[in-house]
Structure 1
């Protein structure tokens, strides 16, 4: 399922007292990750039935989802959690605060958010993130080479077996390594272009292989159809981190231009309030499901329209909210539980 989706939470950036201290590229990426996560999470939340007709638009959208969305965005979110973890501890320690103690409180609060959220969304990832946050704590002190190599090798091993839940820790380790290498503080357009080009080539190869297994009949219950579908989905999970890396590189490349920074500014606000928006995605989906009795009666394509409406509502809310307040509502509560003091909310 979508465990991972929880990933969010790297709000860590919020820590910077002054806003210009934020690494804005991370907010844009977090926003992008959230946009992909809801497309996958809405299926299980509304009990969407798989398309029966092989050549319907619904079946085409289902295939699109598993080729380009499923397993592509929670990976970005999880990686960003690792980056945020590193920045949070480094900044806290630089200010002479007890970084580890603050981080433990932060994870405890995240776990509580997850405990509440999981009652409504069984595939949620906040609780998983909080637990994995403790697992990666010792790696903060490890060398950047070790985190990079160990994270990469672990990720390749778990990806080969398509074990999504186990991929969370290595993705976080790679995030820590990115923090240690200060990748986001000093983005170099040439290097991003080379990286993105390499990931595009690998993604194209991986997606070509995955597409070979795309099932014609999706909602059909024969054993052969089931096995083909599983092969298609497992291949997608295995190549997920490569496609995610391409998406990440492409967005960073576009953000080198002022035009795209302006164009995507709603995405930045959306990502700054990632915890609030992640949880409110669930609230809005379930609210619409109950209000219109969608449960088990909505197609994949109809779920896309509902997601588009939720994007509009959340983008507007995030942009307007951050015009008047420093933090998203849940980010503010998370901050209070981390620092045990109430930060000023109004701008």
Structure 2
């Protein structure tokens, strides 16, 4: 192994999955589907559709995309911990991983312009891979600080895709430092932090109106991050209650097959749109109610298919191909926390 390809030493043996991450990832997929469906059906924002549109903007838009981005960074951080065990040239393997994602994202753009996979691949190559050359002693601190700076800058610039690098680096620091496991073991601290972001969210809505939030996109971007964190904390805390018996079997399969389900949802939307191109004729809310029903139907199908698929194959089809492209036949840690 060359010195430039040396990855941090990791504990030997197979790492257990962090089930909470799968659940949160599945939850994020649900929200992303709600965001992606209206523009793919060209739903309007006039008349009675405005109430639904405002709900989407205030509760869904830019609220789930940050969660998914942060989780991507966490996954990379967890993966980097064991990268040297999985490949003699870990950075080259991870470059192949991002290249594969770029190909899938480029093809996905043909069906859904503006999707996130291609920007994820670019940010991964430009931001995450270079950060692995930082000394292991300072890696988590530097990526955490730099991620926070980039995220704050992105928020004040209006949010959108520019939040990806900051969230990637913050996630990388969180996953690579083991902070994610420690946080999950301290629900009281999570509840306190979630209360703070919830208070920020409530205050943001109390002191602004819808038009103000749309004109000043930095407000909307900041509320999006605060609300995203609040959503995650609520979900993680619910996993410590009897609600876990419902949330885990429903959301975990979605999260474990996140890439397959993300692309698959687009294919299902395109298929439905080919049969029913105009949703507005089905309800008096501009098609948003019909879109919500379609989203629930798609998610129900994906939960059932994902559960059955994982029972027999252990990984989603795109996930399995992605892993093979990344690590090849030398991969010895098929079931990891990432």
The answer to whether the superposition gives a TM-score over 0.5 is yes
Q: How far apart are residue 261 of structure 1 and its match? A: 2.5
1:305 correspondence with 2:305: no
8 Å contact kept, 1:48–1:296: yes
Relative to the length of structure 1, the TM-score reads: 0.83
Q: Distance in 2 between matches of 1:342 and 1:183?
A: 29
Task: Choose which of 221, 225, 243 in structure 2 pairs with 1:241.
Answer: 225
Give the alignment partner of residue 129 of structure 2, picking from 137, 141, 165: 137
What's the counterpart of residue 199 of structure 1?
197
| 1:1-347 mapped onto 2 (5 Å cutoff) | 21-50=16-45, 52-53=46-47, 56=48, 58-95=49-86, 97-135=88-126, 136-140=128-132, 141=134, 142-186=138-182, 187=184, 188-209=186-207, 212-214=208-210, 230-231=214-215, 235-257=219-241, 259-265=242-248, 266-294=250-278, 299-341=287-329
What root-mean-square deviation, in Å, do the aligned CA atoms of Structure 1 and Structure 2 show? 2.4
Deviations 1:212-249 (A, max 9, x none): 4325xxxxxxxxxxxx6842765322321111111111
The one-character-per-residue Cα deviations of 1:274-302 (angstroms, maximum 9, x if unpaired) are 00000011001110000123378662222
Say which is worse superposed, 328-337 or 289-298, in terms of deviation: 289-298
Aligned mates of 1:303, 1:233 — CA distance in 2: 26
CA distance in 2, matches of 1:86, 1:251: 22
Q: CA deviation at 1:205?
A: 1.4
Q: TM-score, normalised by structure 2?
A: 0.85
- Deviating more after overlay: 334-343 vs 116-125: 334-343
CA distance in 2 between partners of 1:342 and 1:291 (Å): 45
Q: What's the CA shift string for 1:115-161, capped at 9, x where partnerless?
A: 11111110111111111001222223353222222211221121112
| Long gaps (5+) in structure 1 | 1-15, 216-227
Report if the CA contact (8 A) 2:143-2:170 is conserved: yes
3-state secondary structure, aligned to 1:48 = coil
Contact in 2 for aligned 1:199/1:242 (Cα 8 Å): yes
1:31 Cα deviation (Å)?
0.5
Structure 2 residues not aligned, in runs of 5+: 1-11
SS at match of 2:230: helix
Structure 1 consecutive aligned stretches of length 4 or more whose deviation exceeds 4 Å: 295-298
Partner SS, residue 112 of structure 2? coil
Shift of 1:26: 0.9
Given that residues 199 and 245 in structure 1 are in contact (C-alpha distance below 8 angstroms), is that contact kept between their aligned partners in structure 2? yes
Deviation of 1:182 (Å)? 1.3
Displacement of 1:80 in angstroms is 0.6
Q: Which residue does 1:7 correspond to in 2?
A: none
TM-fit CA distance, 1:35? 0.5
Q: Distance in 2 between matches of 1:193 and 1:341?
A: 42
Q: Counterpart of 1:340 in 2: which secondary structure?
A: helix
Q: Quick check: 293-302 or 142-151, which moved more?
A: 293-302
User: Could you report, residue by residue, the CA deviation over 1:80-111 in whole angstroms, capped at 9, with x for unpaired residues?
Assistant: 11111111121122456422111011111111
Change (3 A) 1:229 1:235: closer
| CA–CA separation in structure 2 for the residues paired with 1:77 and 1:198 | 21
